[in-house]
């Protein structure tokens, strides 16, 4: 149910220079989603009446993502006045005139903060009657962070920045996590009082806390259960740390749901991947995007699947697959490459050093080794021997190959598309199929074999081969 008394402001205007990247910081991928996508997903779970996203740097690229992930969000552009206080000021101005509830301010670069923690913050704020409630944390090292100084009654008295703190205040382990919940009327009044009269020339949202205390309002601080929940991402090192933490949480979640993951340290699973009970994941496996794996399937080792579907009891070993469908009971790998559009039917096989692309392969059909099948349709229970390929590109256009059911294509057969081979047909070894083959026919392109006697002795005299031939006595 929509919380009619809640508005969420997502701060997404920062430049993120410490990433040293042409990609905006908030769009760097994390477990299959952009960093800001995790924040938007959490905001969506809270079902607020209003969401406002404040953007500036690379705004069009960010708006494109926000519009997909949280289309109900109102987009506000930060103007030339810098600072988080100014961003929130503009966001508040974009709220409907009749809104009078609470305003939750979250940072777009804090992706691990979950909806449960924010719900706890909302409940504490509304039960306590404070003008504002913030999240705090107790990191292992508080150096550089603003310290939470509390009153004797336990309310927040003030936030002291590290550089301004006394030695005694620097001993405080509780820090400001940068997540705020305000009553709108009090917030609006104090935002109007913010100035840029500071070293950075910015309007700071943290100053609102001090203004509220000066005005006599209570402010509360709620410590989070784990400091990593509120850790922001500013550089690539922090991104990798967040990725490792999030992945560990994802892996453990699937383990508790009945999935066997032999080596969590080398297994990476994106947040949108779905696994059924009794799936087994072997070491070195990456399951990315919207990959779905059904019960009883075994994936890995050393396998990467992106946006793939794997059926019940299938086995996928040392394989790279993208946008592929693997049927129930099928086997894939080792060293297979499944490109987009591959559909392998139930109990089928794509074996060693096989590449497929835009190919529908029927139930029970086997491509056991050294095959390339692209832009093709292969029927049921056919067998393509070692080295069989479809030659689908004529240098200008791609063409399709159609191979029927119960076909036997012998070693090193080449299907030169466009071409069709009927049900139950065979080819001889080394056949080049340029014309359609009727059902039940045998296709051969065999030239007479010529043996040139004495060729090695004449053309390669003195070689080991010539000596061996001479000594054989034949």
SS3 state at 127? helix
Pairwise CA distance, residues 158 & 179, whole Å = 15
Asked whether residue 153 falls in the same domain as residue 37, the answer is yes
pLDDT of residue 449: 84
Question: 115 and 199: one domain?
Answer: yes
Q: What percent of the chain has pLDDT over 70?
A: 100
Same domain, 201 and 269: no
Number of domains in the chain: 3
Residue 249 near residue 270, CB atoms below 8 Å: no
Which among 393, 380, 390, 379 has a CA at the least distance from the CA of 432? 390
Per-residue model confidence as pLDDT tens digits over 92-141: 999 999 999 999 999 999 999 999 999 999 999 999 889 999 999 999 99
For 47-77, how does the pLDDT look when each residue is reduced to its tens digit (9 = 90+)? 999 999 999 999 999 999 999 999 999 999 9
249 located within any domain: no
CA distance 211 to 225: 28
Q: How far apart are CA 267 and CA 212, in angstroms?
A: 48
pLDDT at 163: 85
User: From the CA atom positions of the chain, what is the Rg in Å?
Assistant: 32
Supply the CATH number for residue 196's domain: 3.90.550.10
3-state secondary structure of 107: strand
Same domain as 180, residue 50? yes
- Return the structure tokens found at 450: 């010529």
Left if phi > 0, otherwise alpha if psi is -120 to 50, otherwise beta: which for 117? alpha
Same domain, 264 and 189: no
**Structural domain of residue 336, as residue ranges?**
259-352
Q: Is the domain of 289 the same as that of 140?
A: no
What pLDDT does residue 446 have? 84
With a cut of 50, list the residues of the chain below it in pLDDT.
none
* Among 28, 38, 369, 406, the one annotated catalytic: 369
Which of 324, 352, 380 is at the close of a domain?
352
Nearest to 289 by CA among 273, 300, 304: 273
**In this predicted structure, what is the pLDDT of residue 200?**
82
Please confirm, yes or no, whether 369 is among the known catalytic residues: yes
Q: Decide if 462 is inside a domain.
A: no
pLDDT of the residue at 237: 97
pLDDT at position 277, please? 98
| 398 and 298 belong to one structural domain | no
| 52 lies in the same domain as 129 | yes
Q: In sequence order, what are the beta bridge partners of 55?
A: 12, 77
- Is residue 87 within 8 A of residue 204, CB to CB? The reply is no
Does some domain include residue 459? no
Q: What is the pLDDT of residue 52?
A: 98
């Amino acid at each position: 149910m929509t919380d009619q008394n809640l508005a969420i402001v997502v701060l997404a205007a920062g430049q993120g220079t410490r990433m040293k990247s042409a990609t905006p910081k908030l769009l760097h991928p994390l477990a299959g989603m952009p960093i800001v996508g995790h924040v938007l997903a959490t905001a969506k779970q809270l079902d607020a009446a209003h969401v406002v996203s404040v953007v500036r740097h690379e705004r069009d690229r960010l708006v494109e993502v926000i519009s997909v992930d949280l289309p109900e969000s109102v987009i506000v552009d930060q103007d030339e006045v810098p600072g988080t206080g100014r961003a929130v000021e503009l966001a508040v101005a974009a709220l409907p005139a009749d809104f009078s509830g609470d305003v939750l301010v979250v940072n777009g670069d804090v992706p691990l903060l979950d909806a449960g923690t924010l719900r706890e913050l909302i409940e504490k704020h509304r039960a306590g009657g404070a003008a504002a409630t913030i999240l705090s944390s107790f990191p292992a090292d508080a150096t550089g962070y603003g310290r939470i100084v509390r009153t004797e009654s336990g309310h927040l008295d003030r936030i002291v920045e590290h550089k301004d703190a006394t030695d005694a205040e620097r001993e405080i382990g509780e820090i400001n996590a940068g997540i705020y919940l305000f009553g709108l009327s009090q917030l609006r009044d104090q935002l109007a009082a913010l100035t840029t009269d500071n070293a950075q020339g910015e309007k700071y949202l943290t100053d609102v806390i001090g203004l509220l205390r000066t005005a006599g309002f209570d402010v509360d601080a709620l410590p989070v259960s784990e400091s990593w929940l509120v850790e922001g991402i500013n550089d690539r090192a922090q991104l990798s740390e967040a990725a490792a933490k999030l992945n560990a949480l994802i892996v453990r979640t699937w383990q508790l749901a009945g999935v066997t993951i032999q080596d969590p340290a080398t297994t990476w699973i994106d947040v949108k991947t779905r696994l059924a009970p009794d799936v087994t994941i072997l070491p070195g496996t990456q399951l990315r995007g919207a990959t779905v794996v059904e019960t009883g399937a075994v994936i890995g080792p050393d396998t990467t699947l992106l946006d793939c579907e794997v059926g019940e009891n299938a086995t996928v070993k040392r394989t790279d697959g993208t946008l592929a469908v693997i049927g129930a009971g099928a086997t894939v790998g080792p060293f297979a490459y499944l490109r987009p559009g591959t559909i392998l039917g139930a109990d089928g096989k794509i074996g060693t050093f096989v590449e497929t692309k835009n190919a529908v392969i029927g139930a029970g059909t086997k491509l056991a080794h050294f095959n390339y099948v692209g832009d093709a349709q292969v029927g049921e229970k056919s067998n393509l021997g070692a080295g069989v390929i479809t030659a689908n590109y004529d240098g200008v256009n791609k063409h399709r190959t159609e191979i029927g059911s119960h076909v036997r294509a012998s070693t090193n057969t080449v299907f030169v598309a466009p071409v069709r081979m009927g049900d139950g047909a065979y080819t001889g070894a080394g056949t080049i199929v340029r014309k359609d083959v009727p059902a039940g026919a045998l296709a051969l392109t065999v030239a007479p074999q010529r043996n040139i006697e004495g060729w090695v002795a004449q053309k390669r005299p003195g070689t080991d081969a010539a000596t061996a031939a001479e000594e054989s006595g034949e």
